[in-house]
Structure formats: structure tokens, C-alpha cells
Amino acid sequence: MNTSGKLSHLRPTRLREFLYGSPYYPEHWDEKIRAADPALFRAAGWNVVRMAEFAWDILEPREGVFDFALFDETIARMGAAGIRTILCTPTATPPRWLTRDHPEVLRVDADGIRQEHGSRQHASHFSPLYRDYSRKITCAMAAHYRDNPNVIGWQTDNEFHCHFREDYSAAAGLAWVEWLRARFAGDIGALNRAWGTAFWAQTYERFEDVVLPRDHRPTWQNPAQALDYQRFLSDGVTAFQRDQVDILRAVNAGWFVTHNGCFGGIDYRGDFTRDLDFLGYDAYPFFCFDPAERAANQAAVLDQVRAYSGNFIILEQQSGAGGQGNYFHDNPEPGELRCMAWRSIARGADGFLLFRERTCRFGAEEYWVGVVDHDNVPRRRYREAARLGAELARVGRELLGGTVIFDVGVAGGDFVVQHGHDSLSHGLPSPKHMGEAVHGVFYRAGYAVGVVHPEDVLDRLKIYVIPHFALFDPAWVPNLERFVSGGGTLVVGARTACKDWQNNVVGETLPGVLRALAGATVEEYGRQNRPDRRPLALRFKDAPADTPTTLWYEQLLPDAGTEVLATWATRHLAGSAAITCRTHEKGRVIYVGTYLTREFTESLLPVLEQLGALPKKISAIDGVEVVVRSRAEGGALQVLINHNETTVRVPAPVGATRELLADRALAPGGQLELEPNGVALIRC
Ligand code: GAL
């Protein structure tokens, strides 16, 4: 197991070489293409490929009969061209002999339907038999490749929980009972108390009587039980992965081990990630179908990934349009592939792979566009990837060892907070969703913004926003107190700290454990379902007009010494406090009695400015994203990306004289020209 200690957004990957390449599928191509591929991809700057995540049928065509020939040959050919390999355990797609002879390893969905052979992720992580097979194939592959110098690391499985995470198989049912027994130390009374089973006559006498929770059978579930089910799923996949990680580390301690996330039902700030050297992330920005929102969305998601455990590698990023089932993405326009890649790198990627080497001619993803087209003619995506490859060959190493620097932090990355919300959402947007909205406002306004978990290091931040963390761990409070007394501005959104870690409502007056920090209490709250019919608005001190709210209101009672920044202006709330500000030593806590929607957060910026709480903007020009990464050798690197449809001139950081990607001198006055989708890298 990796012992790199506490997970933090400030943790670099410790890779010594910037990895660049793609997933590669030798099983999809004939000998002629395979033989020519190493030269083709080396010419585009590849130094790594990832292989075998769906190739169990080739590696073990019959039980206990292994055939590594195709991968041996491909790894050797790639290696001879200077391209090394990340291998994958192939457990996302068991071979047919396994599912035929042992259908009991298959997952079962909430309708009780057993998943079938023919797509992927159909085996249960809770099946002891499947875990046996998983260990066997991992052992066989690890032993075979133990001394192969071209194999540098491993990816476990592929995108755990990407299609679905629920499991209602018999094996999952048995594991659930044992998981509960361990969680409640064998005391069924503790389970009854923790879950509030007095409600709707759920009281249990024995752990064996507790069934796996299913939504709407026939109606609402117990939220505490539903949250524990998510914890159980996360622990299950963590144990499944740990089997593989332990084998790989025991065979060759020099290999790194990673996994390509990030999906629901996995606690990426927990043992799942502690077991890895670093997290991998698969970036598919075109799932945001609105081109105007895509950059902000990609930035927010990358920052959330970094909040789990620090820098990561991109194991897949789309290079062309993705087409599956009933959708087909827009085709990235010239420059967009490179621009998305640099956004990922700017925001914490220490290695980068483009999905996939070439579009496959068959199967469910025959229209998932790769770097090279079906006809094996390299066109503009290949040329763009080659440009990126040349850039990374020059500057990649310089990026390693640094972390992303920012001033505004948005709270995120907590598994319990997110899944607690999902189990009883009341139709309100989730903390993750609201975090993205808040992140987007600061991002668009040109601030250096990122995502930080509340227990992580906060002291470099000027502002820290906790959107709507209904579930709240009291252990986080001292860290927040330190941040505030040290001079930070903490902004707390409505409903924060109204629930405990088990997903039950707290008995204290709200905002519960944050009451002393906020210096105010919540007197009344309510949902806004039809703000058009019963509009609510609040008025900021000295503001000429009212600001409407949506989704939620809270009427606040400020303690003596707490300032009121805004009062409600409408209906029965008129005149009561809506937003408060409490000073603590050098800092302050702003409690906002409504939801931090995009529009509302935009209206909060001038108020923060008046208070002197805002940092300096990092970007001087609208539509130009600027991200700063520290350099291991000191100083920093600035990445600039132009999202405008026109060429812009951007002031370069004071004293900077060269742009590194094109290796060009900066114009006099430190100005830099950036074409649409243009990217620049500056040492400063
Ligand atoms: C990822 C997955 C790949 C491929 C790709 C395009 O989620 O890891 O195997 O399916 O999406 O759909």
C-alpha cells in the first residue's frame, strides 16, 4: 500500500517524466497497422501507451491458459520506439468462459435483473469468486511483466462505477450484512439508533434482517440507511481494487499504480486513493453540450478532481467527438484538442493521454473518434496532437513537482456530503452542482479559483466558500476557525451544518456547529418553489435595487456584534436579516441565507469587493483563462488560454520575456498575442 500520507490538493504526483500518449488497443488492429503504429505515434511525441483494460479474453482465452504474445510483441515494439506502457488489470470485462461457467459473479440491478455478457462492468465486486479470478489474472500479468523495463505502471480495472454502482446480487446482500456488523461493532441497537429505525417501524433485531435498500420500493428510503449503502459500495470497490494493488506492489515496488475516475459511489478522499500513487482522471469536456459553458465546466471539474488528492494524470481525454448510444458530440474545432489538454495540464495533470489512438471500426464505440481516423489517415487531430507532443517534450519536465496556486477556494470533494444530499435532495441542487456554479462565477470574473476540501490546507486562500454542505463534520470547525482568525473570508451558504455525519438532522439551533463562527442563528427557513408567484428578494446595504433569490430562504437572527449585510425586502420576511457578517480577529464569516446560484453569487461579488475581501484578479482580459502552477525549482509557470473567438493581446507577467510553447520572445511592453483557442506558457 502506498504510504504517501495525507491526501491534499497540494500533493504533486512525483512522476519524473511527463507522460504523453494514448490508450492503445492492439487487439483492434491487424499486423500491418500494428507494425507501423510505434513510428506513427512516436513521431507525434508519444512516450507512453496504456493497454489491456478490456483484453482479458485475449490474455486468458481459456481458464488458466494464458497468452501474452500480442501484448509482449506490442510492448516490445512500442518500447523499441521509445514508448513505454501502462498496463491495466482487465477486470471491467471478464471473458465469456468466466461468465458462462459462473453466472453467479454477475451484478444484479435494483430491479433484480442480472447483468449479462456483451457490454462491460457486469461483474460484482462483492463476489468472492470474482475477486478470486481478479486476483488470479492480476497475479499472472504481474508475474509475466515483472522484469519488463517497458512496463512502468498500472491502471486498476477501468472507470469503476462509470455505468452504475448499485449491486443487489446475493453476494452483495451477504457482504452488506457483514459490513453493517463491522460498522456497528456487532451492536444492532447502535444501528437502530444511528438510522432512526423508530420511524416507520424499521426496528431490527438482527443484522441478517437488514436488506439492501432500494429506492421507491414502494416509497422514500431511510436517508441514513441510503447513505450507508453508498459507503458500503465505496468500501466494496476499494477492497476489490486493494486485492490488485497489493499483488502489483508485492511483485514490483517500482511500478506506480493508478485508476481512471471519477464517478459516484467512491470516496476518492479515502482509502481508495490512499492505496494508489496518484489518481487518474478521464476528461470528456464535450459532455457539456454548450460550447459557451464548456471551458468553465472543465475547469471546475478538474479542480474538483485535484481537491481529492492533488495532482493527477489524465488517462483519457477526448480527442474527437464522442458517439455512443443516442448521442454524438460536436466535433472539436481546430485548436480545441490542444486547448482542452492545456487546461487539464494547467489545473493539475502531470501526465496526459488522448483517448484513443485511432477510431475503432467495430463495437459500441465505433464512432468514438480517436486521434487517427477509421481509414488510418492522420489528419488535423493527429497534427494537433503532434504539436502538443512537441511542446510537452520541451516543457513537460518543467511542469512536474509543482502544484496549482489560487486565491479563492470552493469547498468540495467530500463523498459523505454529496451522497448524503443525493439520498434526500428535496429537489435542491447538490453541493457539487452548487460548487460548480460558485466556481464558475469566480472563474468567469477572472479570479484564480480552485476547490479545497474543508479539512485540507486553507491558509493560502483569501476566500473560502462552503456552498451548501448540509452534512457537516464538526471536526472541520477548528480548521475553519484558523483560516478566519488568520485573515480569511469564509462564506457559508444556507443549510450548511444542518445534518450530522449519519445523515440525520441535528438538534441544535442552526447553523449548528457553525453557530459561533457565523455569529447568527436561523430563525426560519423555507423552499422557494415558484419564485415567480411569490417572489422573494433581499436588499444589500446601500444598494439601489433588490436582489431576487430562488430555491431557498433563511431568516437570520444576528448575535450582538454581528453586522447585517443584507435584509429581506419582501413578504413576511421584510426587514429581517438575510446575510450576516461576523468578524473574528483578522478575518470574517459571511453567512448567506439563500442558495448561491450563479446569478446570486454574481451579485455577491461587489459586496465582497466593498469589504476588501476579494483578491487581485489573475486574468486581465475577458475570456482569457490564466492558471498558475508553482515550479519545483522555484518561481511559477503561467498558462494562458484564449476562449474568445477573436485574437487578443494579453499583458504578460512583469519581467517575463519569453513564451515557452512557441519559444518566442514577448513583444515589447510584455504583450502577448493569443489567437482563438491559443495557449501560452510563461515562466514567472
Ligand atoms: C471512457 C472509458 C473508455 C471509453 C471512453 C469513450 O469512459 O474509460 O473505455 O468508453 O469513455 O466512451
Asked whether residue 416 is domain-assigned, the answer is yes
CA of 262 to the centre of ligand 1 (A): 12
Asked whether residue 196 is domain-assigned, the answer is no
Mean pLDDT of 67-87: 98
Question: 157 in ligand 1 pocket by Cβ < 6 Å?
Answer: no
Q: How many helices (H) and strands (E) does the chain have?
A: 17, 30
Q: What is the distance between the alpha carbons of residues 472 and 416, in angstroms, rounded to a whole number? A: 9
Whether 572 shows a pLDDT value over 60: the answer reads: yes
The residues, ordered by sequence, that sit 6+ positions from 499 with a Cβ below 8 Å of its Cβ are: 420, 470, 471, 472, 505, 506
Q: What is the distance between the alpha carbons of residues 135 and 246, in angstroms, rounded to a whole number? A: 10
| 654/580 same-domain check | no
What phi, psi does 172 have (nearest 5°)? -65, -40
**Amino acid 670: pLDDT:** 79
The residue among 244, 317, 311, 269 whose CA lies nearest residue 87 is: 244
Asked whether residue 122 is domain-assigned, the answer is yes
Q: Which three cell numbers stand for residue 48?
A: 507512453
CA of 267 to the centre of ligand 1 (A): 21
What phi, psi does 179 have (nearest 5°)? -65, -45
- Mutation probe of ligand 1 site: the residue of 365, 366, 369, 371 with most atoms within 8 A of C-beta: 365
Asked if residues 235 and 513 have their Cβ atoms less than 8 Å apart, the reply is no
* The last residue of a domain, from among 559, 587, 610: 610
Question: 162 in ligand 1 pocket by Cβ < 6 Å?
Answer: yes
Asked whether residue 207 is domain-assigned, the answer is no
Least confident residue range of 60-69, 80-89, 415-424, 654-663 = 654-663
In sequence order, what are the beta bridge partners of 664? 659
CATH of the domain at 464: 3.40.50.880
Question: 119 in ligand 1 pocket by Cβ < 6 Å?
Answer: no
Tens digit of each residue's pLDDT (9 = 90 or more) over 148-190: 999 999 999 999 999 999 999 999 999 999 999 999 999 999 9
* The last residue of a domain, from among 610, 637, 669: 610
| 367/491 same-domain check | no
Q: What is the distance between the alpha carbons of residues 308 and 502, in angstroms, rounded to a whole number? A: 21
Whether the bond between 581 and the residue before it is cis, its omega within 30 degrees of 0, is: no
Q: How many structural domains does the chain have?
A: 3
| pLDDT category of residue 657 using cuts at 50, 70 and 90 | confident
* Closest-lying ligand 1 atom to the alpha carbon of residue 260: 8
Strands 563-568 and 449-452: unpaired
SS3 637: strand
Q: Which three cell numbers stand for residue 329?
A: 458530440
| 396/441 same-domain check | no
| 467/525 same-domain check | yes
| pLDDT category of residue 5 using cuts at 50, 70 and 90 | low
Half-sphere exposure of 213 (CA within 13 A, CB side): 20
In sequence order, what are the beta bridge partners of 490? 464, 589
| 392/470 same-domain check | no
SS3 571: helix
Burial class for 499, CB neighbours closer than 10 Å (0-12, 13-18, 19+): buried
Ligand 1 atom 9: residue of nearest CA: 158
CATH of the domain at 661: 2.60.40.1180
| 419/330 same-domain check | no
Q: What is the distance between the alpha carbons of residues 312 and 349, in angstroms, rounded to a whole number? A: 5
Question: 235 in ligand 1 pocket by Cβ < 6 Å?
Answer: no
* The last residue of a domain, from among 563, 581, 610: 610
Q: What is the distance between the alpha carbons of residues 233 and 167, in angstroms, rounded to a whole number? A: 8
| 514/573 same-domain check | yes
Alpha helices in 3-68 (DSSP H): 31-43, 56-59
* Closest-lying ligand 1 atom to the alpha carbon of residue 162: 7
Question: 159 in ligand 1 pocket by Cβ < 6 Å?
Answer: yes
Whether the bond between 429 and the residue before it is cis, its omega within 30 degrees of 0, is: no
| 667/650 same-domain check | yes
CA of 87 to the centre of ligand 1 (A): 16
Asked if residues 525 and 552 have their Cβ atoms less than 8 Å apart, the reply is yes
| pLDDT category of residue 23 using cuts at 50, 70 and 90 | very high
Asked whether residue 338 is domain-assigned, the answer is yes
Distance from the first to the final alpha carbon of the chain: 37
Asked whether residue 202 is domain-assigned, the answer is no
Question: 610 in ligand 1 pocket by Cβ < 6 Å?
Answer: no
Rg (CA), the chain: 26
- Mutation probe of ligand 1 site: the residue of 158, 161, 301 with most atoms within 8 A of C-beta: 158
| pLDDT category of residue 658 using cuts at 50, 70 and 90 | confident
Q: What is the distance between the alpha carbons of residues 633 and 350, in angstroms, rounded to a whole number? A: 16
Ligand 1 atom 10: residue of nearest CA: 365
CA of 284 to the centre of ligand 1 (A): 9
In sequence order, what are the beta bridge partners of 280? 260, 313
Alpha helices in 592-644 (DSSP H): 598-610
Please report, for residues 363, 480, 582, 616, the alpha-carbon distance to residue 589 in angstroms, rounded to integers and kept in the order given: 54, 10, 5, 20
pTM of the complete model: 0.97
- Location of C-alpha cell 455577491: 604
SS3 244: helix
Mean pLDDT of 622-639: 95
- Detail the DSSP E strand segments found in 559-666: 563-568, 577-584, 587-592, 624-630, 636-642, 648-651, 658-659, 664-665
Asked if residues 167 and 233 have their Cβ atoms less than 8 Å apart, the reply is yes
Whether 582 shows a pLDDT value over 90: the answer reads: yes
SS3 480: helix
Asked whether residue 123 is domain-assigned, the answer is yes
Q: What is the distance between the alpha carbons of residues 408 and 137, in angstroms, rounded to a whole number? A: 46
What is the domain extent for residue 578?
408-610
Question: CA angle, 598 as apex, 594 and 601 as ends, to 5°?
Answer: 55
Asked whether residue 215 is domain-assigned, the answer is no
CA of 48 to the centre of ligand 1 (A): 18
Mean pLDDT of the chain: 96
Strands 327-328 and 279-283: unpaired
| 49/94 same-domain check | yes
* Closest-lying ligand 1 atom to the alpha carbon of residue 53: 9
Tens digit of each residue's pLDDT (9 = 90 or more) over 359-402: 999 999 999 999 999 999 999 999 999 999 999 999 999 999 99
| 262/366 same-domain check | yes
CA of 282 to the centre of ligand 1 (A): 8
Question: 456 in ligand 1 pocket by Cβ < 6 Å?
Answer: no
* Closest-lying ligand 1 atom to the alpha carbon of residue 54: 9
| 412/395 same-domain check | no
Question: 389 in ligand 1 pocket by Cβ < 6 Å?
Answer: no
Q: Which three cell numbers stand for residue 683?
A: 515562466
Q: How many Cβ atoms are within 10 Å of 68's Cβ, its own excluded?
A: 16
Tens digit of each residue's pLDDT (9 = 90 or more) over 268-323: 999 999 999 999 999 999 999 999 999 999 999 999 999 999 999 999 999 999 98
CA of 657 to the centre of ligand 1 (A): 41
Q: What is the distance between the alpha carbons of residues 238 and 242, in angstroms, rounded to a whole number? A: 6
| 465/600 same-domain check | yes
CA of 148 to the centre of ligand 1 (A): 27
Question: 322 in ligand 1 pocket by Cβ < 6 Å?
Answer: yes
Q: How many Cβ atoms are within 10 Å of 645's Cβ, its own excluded?
A: 8
**Amino acid 423: pLDDT:** 95
- Location of C-alpha cell 466558500: 465
Half-sphere exposure of 82 (CA within 13 A, CB side): 13
| pLDDT category of residue 199 using cuts at 50, 70 and 90 | very high
Q: What is the distance between the alpha carbons of residues 491 and 475, in angstroms, rounded to a whole number? A: 18
- Mutation probe of ligand 1 site: the residue of 51, 316, 317, 329 with most atoms within 8 A of C-beta: 316
Q: What kind and span of H or E run contains 492?
A: strand 489-493
